[in-house]
């Protein structure tokens, strides 16, 4: 598919993607064109199959409706890689899902196997969802050099270092592809359709297997000089009470080494084994291994150890965020990721620390909230990213 021919056409397409169908007259006003000039651009876009100028009226004379919408057959693809999952979503031109498939996949199997499977699933959702594919956005759980779409030294995924993910998928899917870090894409998803939509400057914090932040600045994702802006999981946090734990990155005392998924599993197992938590001991004896989910269940059951663990973690996240608030002055902080039901307890701790330790001018009207999109932020961000590129 060829993209828009000029900036007016690009703005028309982005407007229809974000706000849905419009009358021709409204469209002209919204993009700052006279009605006649807007009509010219709409006709050219319709001639090239990118939008529809409305169906001919059913009863009388084939007069065309004044309602314009993005072409019904337009499709974008999201490939969202998680540490243990692969989700492929096909959307229409307004980024609404039309077909989706999710599988458990171990990314440590390496890029050849995992990307091969992603392409198979893409073929499957395209067969189900029809239409014409205009582009694909790909999210990876690790640092990505955005300019050429390659992962760079991802800590959990040694085999992926500098693999040409973007170029390989563009070749196999036959469409434009962009690759970014998964947290950046979730931040963009929150900007597109989440609670942060009205904000041009905000932070999205993902707390899951890893901990990271997506920085939205002036309405777009800020990636930094090398694409690793927002990698807050490896910020050192204070630990007066014990020697700092070792982190997968090679340092000690990182936020993630205290409160990432692996850290929670480690602390929960220790507490189960040395008698600090009856709930976790019972769970460990029945399942053989503990995860963050078990910590959340223990907390929900009133377990003292689990509650303390989550509160300590929330305070450490809060410490790091308080520094970022003073530095960046965000309009909002959105907390998301696989919080496994700990969200509200975490939010209370994070709010307490950030509001106590940041300057009143920075926090005066800054909400700290839980994501309402949840996992959907990932596909929304991926398709928003690639459609921004296609509609530019
Ligand atoms: Zn680290």
The rounded Å distance from CA 328 to ligand 1 centre is 22
The rounded Å distance from CA 208 to ligand 1 centre is 15
The rounded Å distance from CA 188 to ligand 1 centre is 25
User: Is 320:232 a contact under the CB 8 Å cutoff?
Assistant: yes
The rounded Å distance from CA 357 to ligand 1 centre is 24
The rounded Å distance from CA 225 to ligand 1 centre is 20
Phi, then psi, of 260 in degrees rounded to 5:
-75, 175
The rounded Å distance from CA 255 to ligand 1 centre is 7
pLDDT in tens, the chain (392 residues): 677 889 999 999 999 999 999 988 888 888 888 888 888 899 999 999 999 975 444 444 545 558 899 999 999 999 999 888 999 999 999 999 999 999 999 999 999 999 999 999 999 999 999 999 999 999 999 899 999 999 998 877 879 999 999 999 999 999 999 999 999 999 999 999 999 999 999 999 999 888 999 999 999 999 998 888 999 999 999 776 678 899 988 899 999 999 999 999 999 999 999 999 999 999 999 999 999 999 999 999 999 999 999 999 999 999 999 999 999 999 999 999 877 778 899 999 999 999 998 877 777 889 999 999 999 999 999 999 999 999 99
pLDDT given for residue 249 in this prediction? 85
pLDDT given for residue 57 in this prediction? 42
In sequence order, which ranges of 288-329 are alpha helices (DSSP H)? 292-300, 304-328
Distance CA(322)–CA(346), nearest Å, equals 15
**Structural domains of the chain in order of their starting residue, each with its CATH number:** 7-70 (1.10.10.10), 74-193+376-390 (3.30.420.40), 198-372 (3.30.420.40)
The rounded Å distance from CA 285 to ligand 1 centre is 30
The rounded Å distance from CA 290 to ligand 1 centre is 22
The rounded Å distance from CA 186 to ligand 1 centre is 21
How many Cβ atoms from other residues are within 10 Å of residue 65's Cβ?
15
Angle at which helices 304-328 and 292-300 cross, to 10°: 110
The rounded Å distance from CA 141 to ligand 1 centre is 15
User: Is 79:122 a contact under the CB 8 Å cutoff?
Assistant: yes
Place of tokens 């239409």: 131
The rounded Å distance from CA 97 to ligand 1 centre is 36
The rounded Å distance from CA 210 to ligand 1 centre is 10
pLDDT given for residue 59 in this prediction? 44
The rounded Å distance from CA 293 to ligand 1 centre is 22
pLDDT given for residue 87 in this prediction? 97
The rounded Å distance from CA 238 to ligand 1 centre is 14
The rounded Å distance from CA 37 to ligand 1 centre is 55
The rounded Å distance from CA 239 to ligand 1 centre is 15
The rounded Å distance from CA 256 to ligand 1 centre is 6
The rounded Å distance from CA 249 to ligand 1 centre is 4
pLDDT given for residue 301 in this prediction? 94
User: Is 54:77 a contact under the CB 8 Å cutoff?
Assistant: no
Distance CA(68)–CA(264), nearest Å, equals 51
Distance CA(242)–CA(122), nearest Å, equals 48
The rounded Å distance from CA 223 to ligand 1 centre is 19
């Amino acid at each position: 598919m060829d993209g828009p021919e000029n900036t007016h056409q690009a703005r028309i397409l982005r407007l229809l993607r974000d706000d849905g169908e419009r009358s021709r007259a409204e469209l002209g006003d919204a993009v700052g064109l006279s009605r006649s000039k807007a009509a010219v651009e709409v006709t050219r876009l319709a001639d090239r199959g990118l939008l529809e100028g409305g169906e001919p009226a059913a009863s009388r004379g084939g007069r065309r409706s004044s309602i314009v919408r993005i072409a019904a057959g337009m499709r974008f693809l999201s490939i969202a890689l998680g540490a243990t999952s692969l989700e492929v979503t096909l959307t229409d031109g307004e980024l609404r899902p039309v077909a989706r498939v999710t599988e458990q996949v171990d990314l440590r199997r390496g890029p050849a196997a995992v990307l091969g499977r992603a392409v198979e699933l893409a073929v499957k959702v395209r067969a189900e969802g029809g239409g014409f594919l205009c582009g694909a956005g790909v999210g990876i759980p690790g640092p990505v050099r955005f300019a050429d779409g390659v992962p760079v030294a991802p800590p959990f995924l040694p085999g992926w270092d500098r693999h040409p993910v973007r170029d390989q998928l563009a070749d196999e899917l036959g469409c434009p592809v962009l690759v970014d870090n998964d947290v950046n894409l979730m931040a963009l998803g929150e900007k597109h359709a989440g609670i942060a939509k009205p904000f041009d400057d905000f932070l999205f914090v993902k707390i899951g297997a890893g901990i990271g932040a997506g920085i939205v600045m002036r309405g777009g994702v800020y990636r930094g000089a090398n694409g690793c802006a927002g990698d807050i999981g490896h910020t050192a946090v204070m630990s007066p009470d014990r020697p700092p734990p070792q982190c997968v990155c090679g340092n000690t005392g990182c936020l993630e080494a205290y409160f990432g998924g692996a850290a929670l599993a480690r602390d929960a197992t220790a507490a189960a084994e040395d008698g600090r938590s009856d709930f976790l001991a019972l769970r460990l004896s029945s399942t053989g291994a503990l995860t963050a989910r078990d910590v959340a269940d223990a907390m929900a059951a009133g377990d003292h150890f689990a509650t303390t663990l989550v509160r300590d973690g929330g305070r450490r996240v809060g410490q790091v965020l308080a520094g970022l608030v003073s530095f960046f002055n965000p309009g909002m902080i959105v907390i998301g990721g696989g919080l496994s039901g700990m969200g509200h307890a975490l939010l209370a701790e994070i709010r307490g620390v950030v509001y106590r330790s940041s300057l009143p001018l920075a926090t005066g009207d800054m909400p700290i909230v839980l994501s309402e999109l949840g996992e959907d932020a990932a596909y929304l961000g991926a398709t928003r990213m690639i459609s921004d590129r296609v509609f530019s």
